[in-house]
C-alpha cells in the first residue's frame, strides 16, 4: 500500500491513522557494526566509477556472461560480509523456537512473543544444546515496551 500526502502512522495499531505494518532496518550499521569495506570492494571488483551508484552500474550491464560474472562477484562479497558481520547489542523478539535459536546464535538477548498458536510452555522454546534460556516472555507489544523500559538482565554462562 502506498500512501500519498500528509498522514500519521498509528504505532502498534493504536489511534487514528495509517497502521504501521512493520519496521525495516538498514543492516550496514543499524543492527550490526558497519561493513563499509564491502562497498569499496564491490566498486573495485566491478570497476564502478566514482559518483556512480553500484546497483545502477550493475543494472546497466547487459544480460549475459558479463552480468552473471558481476552478480557472482557481488554475491561473493555479500556472503563474506554475512560471515564476518558482528551484531551490536541487539534484542531478538520472535515467536518461534527457530527465532530464539537464531537470536542466541547471533549473540542477541532473546524475547519470546507468546500467542495462542505457539503454545504456553517456555520449555517448548528451549534451544537444544544451549545453556541459555529466554531473556523474556511477552504476550503483546505493550508488555515488550514495559520490558524494554525496565531493562533486560542477560545472563549467559
Identify the domain containing residue 25 by its residue range. 1-85
CB atoms near residue 111 (< 10 Å): 24
64, 85, 106 — which closes off a domain? 85
| pTM, two decimal places | 0.48
For residues 20 and 72, state if they share a domain: yes
Cell of 115: 500467542
**Domain stops at, among 39, 63, 85:** 85
Domain match, 59 and 118 both: no
CB 138 within 8 A of CB 94: no
Instruction: Give pLDDT tens digits along the chain (157 positions).
Output: 444 444 444 444 455 555 545 555 555 554 566 677 888 999 999 999 999 999 899 999 999 999 999 999 999 998 898 788 766 667 888 887 788 888 887 777 788 888 777 765 555 555 555 545 788 888 887 888 888 777 777 766 4
The neighbour count for residue 90, using CB atoms within 10 Å, is 15
Evaluate whether residue 155 is within a structural domain.
no
22 plus 40 within the same structural domain: yes
Residue 111 DSSP one-character state: E
Task: Name the E strands within the chain.
Answer: 9-10, 18-19, 91-94, 109-113, 136-138
Amino acid at each position: 500500500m502506498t500512501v500519498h500526502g500528509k498522514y500519521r502512522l498509528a504505532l502498534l495499531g493504536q489511534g487514528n491513522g495509517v497502521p504501521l505494518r512493520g519496521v525495516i532496518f538498514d543492516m550496514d550499521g543499524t543492527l550490526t557494526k558497519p561493513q563499509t569495506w564491502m562497498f569499496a570492494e564491490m566498486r573495485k571488483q566491478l570497476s564502478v566509477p566514482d559518483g556512480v551508484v553500484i546497483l545502477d552500474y550493475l543494472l546497466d550491464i547487459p544480460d549475459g556472461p558479463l552480468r552473471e560474472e558481476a552478480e557472482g562477484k557481488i554475491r561473493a562479497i555479500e556472503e563474506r560480509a554475512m560471515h564476518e558481520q558482528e551484531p551490536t547489542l541487539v534484542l531478538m523478539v520472535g515467536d518461534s523456537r527457530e527465532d530464539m535459536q537464531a537470536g542466541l546464535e547471533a549473540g542477541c538477548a532473546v524475547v519470546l512473543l507468546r500467542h495462542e498458536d505457539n503454545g504456553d510452555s517456555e520449555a517448548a522454546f528451549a534451544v537444544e544444546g544451549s545453556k541459555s534460556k529466554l531473556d523474556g516472555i511477552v504476550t503483546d507489544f505493550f508488555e515488550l515496551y514495559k520490558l524494554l523500559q525496565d531493562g533486560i538482565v542477560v545472563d549467559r554462562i
